[in-house]
Amino acid sequence: MAHLAYVSLGSNVGDREKNLRSAIQALRLIGRVRSISSFYETEPVEFTKQPEFLNCVVALETPSTPAHLLHQLLDIEKAMGRQRIQKKGPRTIDLDVVLFGDVAINTPEVIIPHPAMHQRRFVLEPLAEIAPEARHPILKKTVGELLKQLPEGQSVRRIEAKSNAG
User: Which residues are marked as active site?
Assistant: 82, 91, 94, 96
Whole-number CA gyration radius for the chain: 15
Burial (Cβ within 10 Å: 0-12, 13-18, ≥19) of residue 143: buried
∠ CA 54-9-74, nearest 5°, is 135
State residue 124 phi and psi, 5-degree precision: -70, -40
